[in-house]
Amino acid sequence: MKKMNNRQRTFALMTIPILILFFAFNTLPLIKGFMYSFTNFKGYGTYDWVGLRNYADLFGDIRVGKSYLFTIKFALAATVAVNVISLMLAIGLNSKIKFKSALRGMYFVPNILGALVVGYIFNYLFTYIVPAVVGMFGGEASSILASSKWAWVAIVIVCSWQAIAMNTIIYISGLQTVPEDVYEAGAIDGATGWAQFKHLTFPLIIPFFSINMVLSVKNFLMVFDQIVALTKGGPAQSTESISYLIYNNGMSGGQFGFQSANAVLFFVIIVVFSVVQLTVTGKKEEQL
């Protein structure tokens, strides 16, 4: 009995200090952020409690509204683009091709590179190379990044360039779990090409599809580095993501309290998105 107690004490000693660290750098700032959201704190000096005023103001704030619309539009577009392309790429990379491992290795390269530097490189590409090439063919030679209507597409392209690498590798590992005889049996029933994919391959890799969906939506909703590198939220605040707005106005714009309320709202949205997604994809898996 005494031995058991010792064992339990060791377990507690292993857990508690690490738990305190977790509390100090995750839960404590979360609580503080929540508290700041009820104040008019500028980030310096004194502040007063303002109750729910920040939350009421959030819903009337055009800039905040625009940033949510942009972020959600961007996240959905990027998620669809990335998953469609990744799935096609994964099927290609999983078929009977030459140089299989070399090709897989090379297609993964974008994922390991830092998003900020990649963003700077694409910034140049969009600003100088693309307009010049379009100009050569008689098109309008202006940068997509300067257009408040289309700059968000540039961000989708850059984020996809990197995210496709990751999602492809996950789809490949999904495709490898599909046994060869499933295809052989399907072929006897006439399932080839699109029918094979729709009725055989895709249902079998749904768990991997849901991993990728969760991964994509969550990462894209938190987009930050690419915004910094490509547009800094512009032109005309058309590409201001939620994270970027909170960073920009909360850290240096004197809106510490107000942006804390924004961050709380953002947190709630992330949780809702994740829970909905997990239950929806969870149900799909059960149906099988």
Partner 1 sequence: MEKEMKIKEKVNWPVTILLILGLITIAFPLYMTIVIAFKQPTEMTNSVAGILSLPKHWSLSNFAEAMRVTDFWRSLFNSVLITAVTVVLSVVLHSMIGYAVGRNKARNKWYNLVYMYVVSGMFVPFAILMMPLVKQTAQMGIANIVGVILCYVVFYMPMNLMLYSGYLVNIPVALEEAARIDGATTFRTFWKVIFPIMKPMHATVAVITALSVWNDVMTPLVIMSGSGMNTLPLAQMTFQTQFGTNYNLAFASYLLALLPILIFYIICQKQILNGVVNGAVK
| Shortest Å, Cβ 113 to partner 1 | 6
How far apart are CB 23 and partner 1 at their closest, in Å?
Answer: 9
Contact criterion met (CB below 8 Å) for 270 and 221: yes
Nearer to partner 1, 38 or 266 (CB): 266
CB 288 within 8 A of CB 224: no
Q: Which residues of 159-180 are buried (b: 16+ CB within 10 A; e: fewer)?
A: bbbbbbbbbbbbbbebbeebee
Task: DSSP for 69-123, please give it.
Answer: HHHHHHHHHHHHHHHHHHHHHHHHHHSS-TTHHHHHHHHHHHHHS-HHHHHHHHH
Pick 183 or 202: Cβ nearer partner 1? 183
CB of 70 to partner 1, least distance (A): 15
Nearer to partner 1, 62 or 136 (CB): 136
Q: Least separation, in Å, of the C-beta of 287 and partner 1?
A: 21
Distance CA 241, CA 165 (A): 23
Number of other residues whose CB lies within 10 A of the CB of residue 207: 15
Beta bridge partners of 60: none
Minimal distance, residue 161 CB to partner 1, in Å = 7
Cβ closest to partner 1, residue 160 vs residue 238: 160
**Is the Cβ of residue 152 or residue 257 nearer to partner 1 in the bound state?**
257
